[in-house]
Amino acid sequence: MATLLTIGDAAKASGLTAKMIRHYEQSGLLQKPARTDAGYRLYNSQQVQQLSFIHQARQLGFSLHEIQSLLQLWQNPQRESRVVKQLAEQHLADIARKIAELQNMQQLLQQLADSCSADSSPHCAILAALAPQAAD
């Protein structure tokens, strides 16, 4: 007989929290587990593997929708690796876009911080730049 794990043990084995496991069940990423007569969840080894897979994919920043697609591909022995690569490359492009946005934000905020005189006067170049301009 296969070993079944409680949600706490499944959390430890997968690197997730029990709260996140329940969330992934509710979102449909993970099939509802068996339950004891007392209502405790029991996870089989396949479900724990799925949880570890989900955890790794989340660590890489994949969305729940993307993880659903990756799980389907992972579980399909007839999959084509090019589809998996396309998903990964799209995610890489998204990450590159976000990095560029963050770098732009950093540069703008640095310019604002550099324009601050940081003295005892009430005038603040940072606040002035953030405030909406009054219409004439």
Task: Tell me the pTM.
Answer: 0.81
How does pLDDT run across 15-64, given as a tens digit for each residue?
A: 999 999 999 999 999 999 999 999 999 999 999 999 999 999 999 999 99
3-state secondary structure at position 40: coil
**Helix %, strand %, coil % for the chain, to 5?**
60, 5, 35
Instruction: Give pLDDT, residue 20.
Output: 97
CB atoms within 10 A of CB 117: 9
For residue range 78-112, list pLDDT tens digits in order: 999 999 999 999 999 999 999 999 999 999 999 99
CB 74 within 8 A of CB 37: no
Domains and CATH numbers, the chain: 1-78 (1.10.1660.10), 80-136 (no CATH)
pLDDT band at 133 (very low <50, low <70, confident <90, very high): confident
Residue 5 β-bridge partners: 43
AA letter at 38:
A
Residues 6+ apart with CB under 8 A from 120: none
